[in-house]
Structure 1
Amino acid sequence: MKKTLRTLFALLLFWLSLGLYFTNRLMYMKKKDEDLILRREKEAGRYNPEEFESLPKREIDISSPFGYMIKALLVEPHQTNRYIIISHGVTETKINSIKYANLFLARGFNTLIYDHRRHGESGGKTTSFGHYEKFDLKTVVDWLKKEKGPQLELGIHGESMGAATMLLYAGLLEDGADFYIADCPFSDFKEQLSYLIKRDFKLVPSLLLPLGDALLRLRDKYSIRNVSPISVIENIKHPILFIHSQKDDFILPTMTKDLFEHKKGPKMLYLAANGRHAQSFNENRADYERVIDEFLQKYVDHALPS
């Protein structure tokens, strides 16, 4: 009897330890070194410090509803009411957003780039893969609309977790932009975690996910099941351009295909031939820019007042 109890206790301790490790990996996911991000973008030619510093811009502090500051940069070289917000991926910072900002600056948009909670210069203790981040994005949108007035023409570009955050914001909180560009989002966090658990941990997801979800609800006050862009995609009425690399083996391109199929109304899909996760722009720049132009011409430019 004592041996059986010891065995049960050991198993319980093992699963609890595994659950804590799993939720720690989510809540405190290791971020990339910020100097590495800066050096990577400079060496790839996607960030030119001299050119970027020469642009008229200002640093913005926006109060998150969760009690910390969201650090943003508002770049405004154009006399226009056209703006785009760039929402970066997990482990990155707003430095990674500069390449996308430059793309839209060249097309006459002013841009706002910002650091997600627990990334870059922003506050916040945990990463929630879109759950809390969507409220921060709404706060950023609200700030920009208040600052620039009711005639604002607004787009949002999101990459990876930033794209999922954007879709959750638009589908759950408010369809508050005129257009969206979702680059390699996951469609459902539970499904994404199931895939990664099988791939990286070699475990059966149905054994780990319920425990992980229970611990996450206890520790960070949200459920994995609530982070599901595909469950709210039909609420988004404004145009969405979906982008994904065909060779992405981190977030599978089938997730973007599913999102595209479930989206009602105006939409476009671009599956990039080259590059892995979040590399569609880096590895297919000419095609990426061409598709952006086609999307803007089809769904955005024609809708502007003459």
Structure 2
Amino acid sequence: MNVKKKRWMKIGIGLLSVVLIIDIIASFYFYNLAIERNVKDFLVGNSDLDVSAEAMDVFTEGDWREWNQNQEFEQIEMTSYDGLKLQGYFLEAEEPTDKTVVLAHGYLGGASDMGLYGQYYYEELGYNVFTADLRGHGDSEGDYIGFGWHDRLDYADWVDLIIEKQGPDTEIVLHGVSMGAATVLMASGEDLPENVKAIVADSPYSSVYDLFDYQLDRMFHLPAFPVLPSTSLVTNMRAGYSLTEASALDQVQKTDIPILYIHGNADTFVPTAMATELYENTSSEADLITFDDASHGEAFVTQKDRYVEEMEAFLEKYME
């Protein structure tokens, strides 16, 4: 090998080494940014999360917040399959009922955020209400965010606990928003008891890898390769799951539970196409309802009449 070829080989190896080091640094950076449990400032000012003034008023100052604070939720602690202490909250209906809604909140949220939906199920439908802090959120333990994947097993355990508490005749609907929607969809592919009659998935993503791919391009103008495969390896090492296995799309292809998909057509944080793909690949009975001019997770507020009309029609078919 002549001197020139050796020189170019050294240059090539040097460049590859630099790229590899940068990729490793980027992988740990994105793990810390999105998955590790810590303060998340990167979403502040993200225009994809902008909502209408009407929705913002309800989210921040709606009467549902006062309602939530005035209810005497029973606090329930559960130990997860991997030893985490998780916190759940149960509110018994005013009149005895065998119907319970199990709510799942979004990224960086908490159980109390689902009072917006819980109030409706409680006051208008007469359901028992259960919600929980997902692992890595609120008062639940966990040093990472599961994006629904490990949470799917937690929610399967919560369902078993509710059936044990309420009796074998209890009927359950799972209702999640954003990451919570992905959580209940991921749970749908597990061996859930027949008590789970229906699922409402509001603004779900198809898989964690697909969501990160979309956001990596939108927020950082970076391609998926090589950052996401290496970030997935870091996530597997530190949180015990890969970005590719955390797939709602794979899970809904195995489910027999009816699913109502809800998505805003103006959602640029989780594109509506993801809900469409999920709907088209669901093995059970399913409906997809989209809302024009609604951004991420705001349809319940901005178009509430249609939202609850569609939701109640769906539940009437499957909640006996």
Question: Normalized against structure 2, the TM-score is what?
Answer: 0.85
Which of 3, 6, 22 is the equivalent residue of 2:30? 22
Deviation at 1:67, TM superposition (A): 1.6
Partner residue in 2 for 1:299 = 318
Contact 1:72 1:115 in 2 (8 A): yes
Letter aligned with residue 144 of structure 2: T
Greater RCO, CA 8 A, separation 6+:
2
Partner residue in 1 for 2:77 = 61
Q: How does 1:78-89 map to 2 (within 5 A)?
A: 78-89=95-106
Matched, 1:203 2:222: yes
Partner residue in 2 for 1:98 = 115
- State the SS of the aligned residue for 1:111: strand
Question: Unpaired segments of 5 or more residues in structure 1?
Answer: 34-38
Two-structure CA RMSD over aligned residues (Å): 2.3
Bigger Cα displacement from structure 2, 190-199 vs 112-121: 190-199
Deviation at 1:44, TM superposition (A): 3.2
Letter aligned with residue 158 of structure 1: G
Partner residue in 2 for 1:13 = 21
Distance 1:31 1:144, change over 3 A: farther
Letter aligned with residue 170 of structure 2: L
Deviation at 1:150, TM superposition (A): 0.6
- State the SS of the aligned residue for 1:292: helix
Contact 1:241 1:267 in 2 (8 A): yes
Q: How does 1:250-265 map to 2 (within 5 A)?
A: 250-265=269-284
Letter aligned with residue 262 of structure 1: N
Q: Find the structure with the greater CA-based Rg.
A: 2
Query: Whole-Å Cα distance in 1 between the matches of residues 242 and 248 of structure 2?
Result: 14
Distance 1:207 1:8, change over 3 A: closer
Bigger Cα displacement from structure 2, 155-164 vs 210-219: 210-219
Deviation at 1:298, TM superposition (A): 2.8
Contact 1:81 1:148 in 2 (8 A): yes
- State the SS of the aligned residue for 1:293: helix
Q: Give aligned-pair identity as a percent.
A: 25
Deviation at 1:247, TM superposition (A): 0.5
Query: Whole-Å Cα distance in 1 between the matches of residues 219 and 59 of structure 2?
Result: 31
Distance 1:219 1:57, change over 3 A: closer
Deviation at 1:111, TM superposition (A): 0.5
Partner residue in 2 for 1:115 = 133
- State the SS of the aligned residue for 1:13: helix
Matched, 1:286 2:294: no
Distance 1:278 1:93, change over 3 A: same
Partner residue in 2 for 1:170 = 188
Which of 148, 151, 165 is the equivalent residue of 1:133? 151
- State the SS of the aligned residue for 1:206: coil
Deviation at 1:264, TM superposition (A): 3.0
Contact 2:270 2:296 in 1 (8 A): yes
- State the SS of the aligned residue for 2:149: coil
Contact 1:30 1:91 in 2 (8 A): no
Deviation at 1:152, TM superposition (A): 0.6
Query: Whole-Å Cα distance in 1 between the matches of residues 273 and 113 of structure 2?
Result: 25
Distance 1:211 1:109, change over 3 A: same
What is the CA deviation profile of residues 215-242 of structure 1, one whole-angstrom value per residue up to 9, with x for unaligned ones?
2222222111111111121222121111
Partner residue in 1 for 2:46 = none
What is the CA deviation profile of residues 74-125 of structure 1, one whole-angstrom value per residue up to 9, with x for unaligned ones?
1112311111100111111112100111111120111001110111111111
Partner residue in 2 for 1:217 = 236
Query: Whole-Å Cα distance in 2 between the matches of residues 280 and 42 of structure 1?
Result: 12
Letter aligned with residue 23 of structure 1: Y
Bigger Cα displacement from structure 2, 238-247 vs 23-32: 23-32
Partner residue in 2 for 1:152 = 170
- State the SS of the aligned residue for 2:274: helix
Query: Whole-Å Cα distance in 2 between the matches of residues 144 and 172 of structure 1?
Result: 17
Question: Normalized against structure 1, the TM-score is what?
Answer: 0.89
